[in-house]
Amino acid sequence: MAFSANRSNVSGGSPRSATVRLERASSLTSNTSPTHPRSKAIPSATSPGRRPSRNGRDDSGVSGRVRVAVRLRPRNSEELKSDDVADYIELMPELKRLKLRKNNWDFETFQFDEILNETASQKRVYEVVAKPVVESVLEGYNGTVMAYGQTGTGKTFTLGKLGEDDAADRGIMVRAMEDILANASAEQDSVSVSYLQLYLETVQDLLAPEKDNLTISEDPRTGDVSLPGATCVEVRHPKSFLELLEAGEANRIAANTKMNTESSRSHALLLVNVKKSVKAKQEKESTASNENGSSLQLSKSHSLMTIRKSKLLIVDLAGSERVDKSGSEGHLLEEAKFINLSLTALGKCINALAENSPHVPIRDSKLTRLLRDSFGGTARTSLVITIGPSSQHRAETMSTILFGQRAMKVENMVKLREEFDYKSLCRKLEADLDRLIAENERQNKLVLDTEEQLQKRAEEAELTIQQAERKAKVLLEESHAKKLKLQKENLDSIRRLQQECSLLEKELKENAVKLQSEKEAAVVEKEMQIQNERAKKQQEKEEYIEEYQHKLEELNKKFEAERAERESIERRLQEIEDCMEGQNKLELDDQENLNELAKKMEEESHSRERATRELGEWKLQGAFIASNETAGLKDEVKLLKQEIEEQCKQKEVLEKEVKDLKQQMLQLSYDTDETRKVLEKGPTRVSLGAESPMSLSKAHHMRETVNGQRATIAKLFEQVGLHKILSLLESEDVDVRVHAVKVVANLAAEESNQEKIVESGGIVSLLRLLDSSQDDIIRRVAAETNQELIMAQNGTRLLVRTANETDDPQTLRMVAGAIANLCGNEKLQARLREDGGIIALLGMARSRHPDVLAQIARGIANFAKCESRAARGQKREKSLLIEDGALPWIVENATNEISAVRRHIELALCHLAQHEVNAVDLIAAGALWELVRISKECSREDIRILATKNITSSSSFQSELKKL
Residues in contact with ligand ADP by CB under 6 A are: 73-74, 76, 149, 151-157, 264, 319, 386
Helix (H) or strand (E) holding 11: helix 2-12
- Measured from the CB atom, the residue of 155 and 558 that comes closer to ligand ADP is 155
Closest approach, Cβ 380 to ligand ADP, in A, equals 24
Q: Report how far apart, in Å, the C-alpha atoms of 734 and of each of 204, 644, 720, 874 are.
A: 171, 15, 20, 50
Choose among ligand ADP, Mg ion, none what residue 443 binds, the Cβ cut-off being 5 to 8 Å by kind: none
Closest approach, Cβ 160 to Mg ion, in A, equals 7
The answer to whether the beta carbons of residues 926 and 887 sit under 8 Å apart is no
Closest approach, Cβ 156 to Mg ion, in A, equals 3
Cα 941 from Cα 947, distance rounded (Å)? 10
- Measured from the CB atom, the residue of 401 and 661 that comes closer to ligand ADP is 401
- Measured from the CB atom, the residue of 76 and 290 that comes closer to ligand ADP is 76
320 part of the interface to Mg ion, by CB under 5 A: no
Closest approach, Cβ 346 to ligand ADP, in A, equals 16
Segment contacting Mg ion by CB under 5 A, of 98-106, 132-140, 156-164, 509-517: 156-164
Closest approach, Cβ 100 to Mg ion, in A, equals 23
- Rounded to 5 degrees, φ, ψ at 230 are -70, 145
Choose among ligand ADP, Mg ion, none what residue 110 binds, the Cβ cut-off being 5 to 8 Å by kind: none
Segment contacting Mg ion by CB under 5 A, of 155-163, 379-387, 429-437, 523-531: 155-163
Closest approach, Cβ 370 to Mg ion, in A, equals 18
Residue 337 annotated in ligand binding: no
Cα 203 from Cα 230, distance rounded (Å)? 9
Q: Is 120 helix (H, G, I), strand (E, B) or coil?
A: coil
The answer to whether the beta carbons of residues 59 and 50 sit under 8 Å apart is yes
Residue 482 CB burial class (10 angstroms; 0-12, 13-18, ≥19)? exposed
Task: Count other C-beta atoms under 10 Å from residue 879's C-beta.
Answer: 23
Choose among Mg ion, ligand ADP, none what residue 154 binds, the Cβ cut-off being 5 to 8 Å by kind: ligand ADP
Q: Report how far apart, in Å, the C-alpha atoms of 792 and of each of 298, 787, 828 are.
A: 153, 8, 10
Choose among ligand ADP, Mg ion, none what residue 817 binds, the Cβ cut-off being 5 to 8 Å by kind: none
The length of the chain is 964
Task: Name the amino acid, one letter, at 591.
Answer: Q
The strand pair at 143-149 and 305-316 is best described as parallel
Residues 6+ apart with CB under 8 A from 846: 807
Choose among Mg ion, ligand ADP, none what residue 440 binds, the Cβ cut-off being 5 to 8 Å by kind: none
Residue 453 annotated in ligand binding: no
- Rounded to 5 degrees, φ, ψ at 62 are -120, 135
- Measured from the CB atom, the residue of 149 and 377 that comes closer to ligand ADP is 149
Closest approach, Cβ 158 to ligand ADP, in A, equals 7
Taking each helix axis as running N to C, give the angle between helix 172-183 and helix 131-139, from 0 to 180 degrees, rounded to the nearest 10: 30
- Measured from the CB atom, the residue of 262 and 335 that comes closer to Mg ion is 262
- Measured from the CB atom, the residue of 155 and 415 that comes closer to ligand ADP is 155
Q: Which of 740, 718, 720 is nearest to 728 (CA)?
A: 740
Residue 109 annotated in ligand binding: no
- Measured from the CB atom, the residue of 157 and 375 that comes closer to ligand ADP is 157
Closest approach, Cβ 153 to Mg ion, in A, equals 9
Displacement of CA 507 from its chain's centroid (Å): 58
Segment contacting Mg ion by CB under 5 A, of 152-160, 420-428, 655-663, 735-743: 152-160
The number of C-alpha atoms within 13 Å of 151 and in the hemisphere containing its C-beta is 13
- Rounded to 5 degrees, φ, ψ at 112 are -125, 175
Cα 808 from Cα 27, distance rounded (Å)? 164
Choose among Mg ion, ligand ADP, none what residue 695 binds, the Cβ cut-off being 5 to 8 Å by kind: none
Choose among Mg ion, ligand ADP, none what residue 152 binds, the Cβ cut-off being 5 to 8 Å by kind: ligand ADP
Q: Which of 98, 157, 165, 164 is nearest to 122 (CA)?
A: 157
Cα 171 from Cα 156, distance rounded (Å)? 8
Assign 3-class secondary structure to 149-170.
ECCCCCHHHHHHCCCCCCHHHC
Task: Count other C-beta atoms under 10 Å from residue 759's C-beta.
Answer: 10
156 part of the interface to Mg ion, by CB under 5 A: yes
Residue 160 annotated in ligand binding: no
DSSP letter assigned to residue 824 = T
Classify residue 193 as left (phi > 0), alpha (psi -120 to 50) or beta: beta
150 part of the interface to Mg ion, by CB under 5 A: no
- Measured from the CB atom, the residue of 140 and 171 that comes closer to Mg ion is 171
Q: Is 512 helix (H, G, I), strand (E, B) or coil?
A: helix
Cα 738 from Cα 599, distance rounded (Å)? 36
Cα 699 from Cα 109, distance rounded (Å)? 218
Residue 682 annotated in ligand binding: no
Choose among Mg ion, ligand ADP, none what residue 153 binds, the Cβ cut-off being 5 to 8 Å by kind: ligand ADP
Choose among Mg ion, ligand ADP, none what residue 868 binds, the Cβ cut-off being 5 to 8 Å by kind: none
Choose among ligand ADP, Mg ion, none what residue 231 binds, the Cβ cut-off being 5 to 8 Å by kind: none
Choose among ligand ADP, Mg ion, none what residue 327 binds, the Cβ cut-off being 5 to 8 Å by kind: none
The b-or-e profile of 644-676 (16+ CB within 10 A means b, else e) is eebbeebeebbebbbebbebbbebbeebbebbb
Choose among ligand ADP, Mg ion, none what residue 76 binds, the Cβ cut-off being 5 to 8 Å by kind: ligand ADP
- Measured from the CB atom, the residue of 252 and 865 that comes closer to Mg ion is 252
Mask 208-247, x = binds Mg ion (CB under 5 A)?
----------------------------------------
Cα 750 from Cα 271, distance rounded (Å)? 186
Segment contacting Mg ion by CB under 5 A, of 148-156, 368-376, 446-454, 668-676: 148-156
Segment contacting Mg ion by CB under 5 A, of 153-161, 216-224, 243-251, 625-633: 153-161
- Measured from the CB atom, the residue of 263 and 773 that comes closer to ligand ADP is 263
Closest approach, Cβ 197 to Mg ion, in A, equals 12
- Measured from the CB atom, the residue of 7 and 393 that comes closer to Mg ion is 393
- Measured from the CB atom, the residue of 164 and 718 that comes closer to ligand ADP is 164
- Measured from the CB atom, the residue of 31 and 263 that comes closer to ligand ADP is 263
Closest approach, Cβ 67 to Mg ion, in A, equals 21
Choose among ligand ADP, Mg ion, none what residue 273 binds, the Cβ cut-off being 5 to 8 Å by kind: none
C-beta nearest to Mg ion: residue: 156
Q: Is the dihedral of CA 221, 226, 227, 231 positive or negative?
A: negative
| Site size with Mg ion, rule: CB under 5 A | 2
Q: Which of 380, 350, 383, 384 is nearest to 364 (CA)?
A: 350
Closest approach, Cβ 125 to ligand ADP, in A, equals 9
Closest approach, Cβ 80 to ligand ADP, in A, equals 11
Residue 151 annotated in ligand binding: yes
C-beta nearest to ligand ADP: residue: 154
Q: Is the dihedral of CA 740, 647, 712, 613 positive or negative?
A: positive
- Measured from the CB atom, the residue of 155 and 742 that comes closer to ligand ADP is 155
- Rounded to 5 degrees, φ, ψ at 218 are -120, 140
Task: Count other C-beta atoms under 10 Å from residue 252's C-beta.
Answer: 22
Choose among Mg ion, ligand ADP, none what residue 404 binds, the Cβ cut-off being 5 to 8 Å by kind: none
Closest approach, Cβ 175 to ligand ADP, in A, equals 15
Closest approach, Cβ 248 to ligand ADP, in A, equals 16
Cα 915 from Cα 93, distance rounded (Å)? 202
Cα-atom radius of gyration of the chain, to the nearest Å?
93
Positions at the binding site for ATP = 149-156
Interaction site with Mg ion (CB under 5 A): 155-156
Positions at the binding site = 149-156
